[in-house]
Chain A
Amino acid sequence: MVFAGEYINKLSGEQIEYECKRRLEAGCKELTVNFSQTEIINSIGISILLGVIDTASDKGASIVFSDVNKDTVELFNMLGVSKHVTLA
C-alpha cells in the first residue's frame, strides 16, 4: 500500500508515482493507494495519478484508491479517474 499525503501536488505526486512504479516494476498486480490523509489534489496531482493508472494498465495491474474523502471522490468522478480504479 502507498500512503498519499495531505496535499497532492507535483512534489508529493511524484513521490507517489515513484513508489507505485517501483511496486509495479516489481510485479505487483493489485496496488492500493491510501488517501485517508489527503485533503486536496491539484491538477498536477491528478495528471500524475492518471499516469500511474496508465502504467498499471499497461502492466495488467489493477489499482485501488482507498479512504478517499467525499470532495476527492467528486473530483475523481468529474474527471473520469474513478472509471479506471476501484474506490474503496
Chain B
Amino acid sequence: MAEHDHKLIHAFGALADLGQEITNKNNFQETIRTSLHLISGALGIMRGAVARYSRFGHELNMIAVRGLGDDFPLSLSLTTEDERQFLSNGMSPIEISQAKVLPFFQIYDASFEKRRLELFIPLVVREEIVGAIFLGEKATNEPYTNYEKEIVCAMGHHIGVAIAQRNLMAEIERHAEENRKMFDKMRSTYHDTVKAFAAAIDCKDKYTEGHSVRVGRFSEIIASELGWSSEEVEGAAVAGYLHDVGKLTVERKIINAPYRINAKESAELNKHPAVGYEILLPIHHPFTEVPLAAKYHHERLDGRGYPDGLFDREIPFIAKVVNLADSFDAMTTDRPYKARRPAKEVVEDLQRNAGKQFAPELVTSFLGGMLKELTGEDRNKRFRRLLGREYMEADGIVDKLRFTLNEMAPTTPMTYVAAAAIGNRQVH
C-alpha cells in the first residue's frame, strides 16, 4: 500500500475517533484537549492549540494547548472589525507566514514564530467565528499539503460544532437563570397581590380583622404537618388567604352585623363561596385548587354544609384543609356575638367534630403540630404568634392534646404519652 493511502487511513481513523469524542457527553475542556491530540496525532504535528472566541471581549481564549510553553499568550485579541469579518468568511486554513498583513498576525508574530506555528484555522459555524486552531510544524518538517489542510478543516469543523453547542448550552443556561429570576419575581408579586386581596377582604369585616391572613397561615401549618411539598404548602396558604374573597360582594352591614344575622341575611352571606369561586376561576393561579377551596370551604363531611351539601369524598381535599383552618380561627378569635373559646374547649370541639365536619387526619395533623410546638419539639412559634403566648400556654393544654391525639389514633402505637399527668403509663 502506498504511503499516501496509509496516511489517509490513519487520518480517517482519527476523524472517526474525533466524531465519537465530540458526541460523547464528556467534560467539554477534556473533549477539546482530546480533539487537539487527535489532529496532532493524525498528521504528526509537534504542537498546537484550540481557542474559543469570546464575542464580548473579541478574544480567542485558549482551551487546549500542546507544547506552546508557559510564555505563550492564553488570550489573543481580535481588535478590528475587519479582521473579525475576514476570519468569519470561511474555514480555510491560513498560513501564518503569509498572513502578516493582518494586524492580528503582526501583533502576535513573535509568539507564533517562537513556537513555529504554521497554520491558523478559524472555526466558523453558521457564518460566525466560534474559535480557532493553531498548528505548529509537522514532525516531518515538511509543509502542509492541500489534502492535509482539508483533513485539518474536516476535523476543525467537528471542533467548531462542539464549541458552538457549548456556547448554545451556556446561552440556554443563562436564559434559564434569567427566567428563574423572573419567575421568582412574578411569584413574589403574586403573593403580595394575594396578601393585598386578603387584607382587602378583612378590611370589610371590622370584627374579624386579619381572619383571611390567619386562615392562610393555619392552612399552611396543616399542609406542612401533612408533609406536603413546599409548593403545595404555598398553595394551601394562598387558598386560605383567598377563601373569603366572595365576601367582597356581600353587603358590609351583613358582614358587620353585631348580632346573629337573620335567615335572609344568612342566605345572602352564604352566597360568598360560589361568588368567590367565580371571581377566582378566571385567574391562572399557580395552584389550581385555589378556586375550589373558596367554593367548598363551608362543606362538611356529613353533608350538612353549603353551598352543595357535598359528602366526605366529594369535597376537594384543599377545601377540607381551609375548612378546618377557617373554623379554628372562628373559634379562637373574639366575634361580636361570641367571645373566643379557651384552647382546651377548641381541642374538644375539633375532636368531637372530626368525621362530621372535619377530616380526622387533618385534625390529628393540626393538633400534632400544636403539641410539637408546645413541647419544644418544633421551635417555630407558629401557633404562639397567631394566637398569643398566654392563650397557647393555658394550664393543661399539653395533656389535653396528648389525650385527644391518643383517643383519635387508638390503633397506632402509643406515641402521645401524658407523662406529666399520669406518670409513665400509656394512655388508652
Contact = CB atoms under 8 A, between A and B. Distances in A.
Interface stretch (B44-52, B161-169, B270-278): B44-52
Contacts of B140: 79-80, 83
Contact of B6 (A46, A48, A50, A74): A74
Contacts of A1: none
Contact of A51 (B7, B34, B66): B66
Interface string A47-66: 11011011100000000000
Contacts of A45: 41
A79 B137 CA distance: 12
Contact of A50 (B7, B14, B38, B45): B45
A50 to B, nearest CB: 6
Contacts, number: 75
A52 to B, nearest CB: 10
20 contacts: A10-B37, A42-B13, A44-B34, A44-B38, A47-B36, A47-B38, A50-B41, A50-B45, A50-B139, A51-B66, A55-B67, A74-B6, A78-B3, A79-B10, A79-B41, A79-B43, A80-B139, A80-B140, A80-B142, A83-B141
Interface string A10-43: 1000000000000000000000000000000011
B68 to A, nearest CB: 10
Given A50-B40, A50-B46, A83 B6 contact: no
Interface in B331-367: none
Given A43-B10, A54-B67, A80 B41 contact: no
Interface residues of B, number: 27
Contacts of B7: 78
Shortest Cβ-Cβ A-B pairs, 5 listed = A43-B41, A79-B44, A80-B140, A80-B139, A47-B41
Interface in B1-29: 3, 6-7, 10, 13-14, 17
B401 interface: no
B38 A84 contact: no
The prevalent SS among residues of A at the interface is: helix
Contacts of B37: 10, 43-44, 47-48
Nearest to B48: A47
B417 to A, nearest CB: 63
A53 B56 CA distance: 38
B67 A51 contact: yes
B67 A78 contact: no
A43 B14 contact: yes
Contacts of A2: none
How big is chain A's contact interface, by range?
20 to 34
B17 A81 contact: no
A83 B10 CA distance: 19
Contacts of B157: none
A47 B135 CA distance: 12
A46 B10 CA distance: 11
Contacts of A50: 40-41, 44-46, 139
Given A43-B38, A54-B67, A78-B3, 7 more contacts: A43-B37, A47-B45, A50-B139, A55-B67, A74-B6, A75-B10, A79-B43
A44 B17 contact: yes
B149 interface: no
B152 interface: no
